[in-house]
Every structure is written in C-alpha cells, then in structure tokens.
Amino acid sequence: MTNLKMNRGKNILGLLCLTLTVSACGGGLSDALSYQKNPPDEFAILKKQPLIIPPDYSLKPPKEAGSKVARASTRVEAEEILTGREVDISEIASDGEKEILNRIGSDPSQNNVRSSMQNDGNNIVTKDKAVTEKLILNSTEE
C-alpha cells in the first residue's frame, strides 16, 4: 500500500514537472496569463470603406442669408406654419417670461435692433480731404 502511495506521489510530481516544462517552452500560458504586453501596431494601415454617393438627390437647397437662422421653439414654428402668419413670441410667453422681460427692460416693439446697429456707424462726419492732407503732409500750399 505504501508503494502505491509513493508511486502515486511520484506520478503527480512528474506530471507537474512535465506540465511546467511544456508550458514554459510554448509561451501559450504566458500569453494567456498576459505576462507580455502586446501593444497595437501604430503603423498598421486599416482599409476603409470607399465613399459612396447617396442615391437620393432630393436635398433641400440652403436657405438664403436673409432668412431667419434660429427659431424660438418648435412650438412657434409649428404655429407659424399652421396659421400662415409670423407669431410674436411675446404673445405666447408665460407670465413669468413676461415679468423677466419687463425687469430687464426689454422693449418688444423694437424688433429692428440689427438694422439700427448697422446704421449707427453712418453718422460719422468726414472732413475735407484736402484739410487732412495738409495736416498730415505739412504742406503750406492752399
């Protein structure tokens, strides 16, 4: 019986040594346990799918520069489409929004702020060109 236990111990020890030897030679176990780093190849070129032209050419042309770029909300836009007239945002504003506009001093009747800002630069007075040339060039001739 003792011989059987000794043989069994020798067999297990031999099998363990054989397993370690084989696994050390192959490198599969070290790869499986990730002892080595495998960084991605940064110089590898991946092929991409070629660009294709979509078969649907019914795209809407872009809007003109004078058209409204931003809308207040989809609700306002839907109301404009359904009624056929431009909706003033102050008409659909809640009481809280109206109070905020009153506190900041917003004037709903002044809707042409952009055009008034562009016209502010037109009030510049230009002097006679000859006078400015005399001043710059120090000429004594008149």
Q: What is the pLDDT of residues 115-137, one digit of tens each?
A: 666 666 666 666 566 666 766 77
Structural domain range at position 28: 2-32
* In-domain check, residue 49: no
Mean pLDDT for 12-18 is 87
Eight-state DSSP code of residue 55: S
* In-domain check, residue 42: no
Mean pLDDT for 70-76 is 65
Eight-state DSSP code of residue 130: H
The total number of structural domains that make up the chain: 2
Mean pLDDT for 100-118 is 71
* In-domain check, residue 64: no
Eight-state DSSP code of residue 19: H
* In-domain check, residue 130: no
* In-domain check, residue 103: yes
**What would the two tokens of residue 81 be?**
């489409």
> What proportion of the chain, given as a percentage, has pLDDT over 90?
0
Eight-state DSSP code of residue 102: H
| 3-class secondary structure, 100 | helix
Mean pLDDT for 69-79 is 67
- Whether the Cβ atoms of residue 127 and residue 134 lie closer than 8 Å to each other: no
